[in-house]
Chain A
Amino acid sequence: MDLYEILFWFLTVMALGCALGVILSRNPISSVLFLIATFFAISGHYILMNAQFLAIVNIIVYAGAIMVLFLFVIMLMNLNADTEPQKNRLIQLAGVISGGILFLVVLGALRSTPVTNLERADVGIGLIKNLGKTLFTQFVLPFEISSVLFLSAMIGAIVIGRKE
């Protein structure tokens, strides 16, 4: 068991544990903090898979921007464990069972896939130079359309959020 595998299992346990913490903790603020920890674990996985650019973008965009937005909204509304609405036990049990059944079905379907090892040799596809070339040659049109999407989302958020 070398360093790579130790890191893999550590990050896996961290991601799964923090994801469970997101759905199980009563306080919304600790849910947000657990989710940020999950995103850091996923970024660690990206680094292990030589996707350095995506790891940095994941930390900056998700942990830095999106989760701070969530935290702001939660603190603005002054939510805490006391005001947290609770579903009754039966519905919670039904949710866990249906999620678990979906997991079992996919597990059974994917169990017999042929074992393919991910190569550890670096081919440099995750570096900025390579990704930029792909983005601006093969995917120029989706890139420009996504800028329009961002503009409309920005206008939409302003229009929805303003006071009448």
Chain B
Amino acid sequence: MPIQYYLFLSMALFCIGIMGTLMRRNAIIIFMCIELMLNAVNLLLVAFSKMYGDASAQVFVFFIMVVAAAEVSVGLAVIVMMYRKVHSVDINILNRLKH
């Protein structure tokens, strides 16, 4: 497989993640789209690791997974607290922080 196919696949996944982040108002779905973008980057890193025969990229993928797990645990805690306060996961409610 040419490396271009993997490039285009992961770019398509990344852009789908961006579209989802811009389109949806549900905070949990936006979080999931961020996970999708992280996975697109992981896929590209593994493809390049295969291309150059270097294991460092796969270790980086491992670290990205660690960061994603930490991010999800804190982020979901924030969303649960927000749901307890305002009984909604609509991110437009969060613009009250402005006032």
A42 B39 Cβ-Cβ under 8 A: yes
A103 to B4, CA, bound (A): 14
Residues of A within 8 A of B2 (CB): 115-118
Task: Map CB proximity to B onto A55-90 as digits: 1 under 8 Å, 0 otherwise.
Answer: 001100110011001100110110100001111000
A:24-77 near B, CB below 8 Å? 28, 31-32, 35, 38-39, 42, 45-46, 49-51, 53-54, 57-58, 61-62, 65-66, 69-70, 73-74, 76-77
Which of B58, B70, B81 is A51 in contact with, Cβ under 8 Å? B58
Least CB distance from B62 to A in Å reads: 7
The range of chain B's interface size is 35 or more
Least CB distance from B69 to A in Å reads: 6
Least CB distance from A160 to B in Å reads: 4
Which of B12, B23, B32 is A91 in contact with, Cβ under 8 Å? B23
Residues of B within 8 A of A126 (CB): 49, 55, 58
Given contacts A45-B43, A51-B50, A153-B70, contact A28 B26 (CB under 8 A): yes
A23 to B15, CA, bound (A): 11
A69 to B8, CA, bound (A): 30
Residues of B within 8 A of A39 (CB): 39
Task: Map CB proximity to A onto B75-86 as digits: 1 under 8 Å, 0 otherwise.
Answer: 011111101000
B73 A23 Cβ-Cβ under 8 A: no
Residues of B within 8 A of A32 (CB): 32
In order of increasing CB-CB distance, the 5 nearest A-B pairs are A95-B22, A23-B20, A99-B19, A153-B70, A103-B15
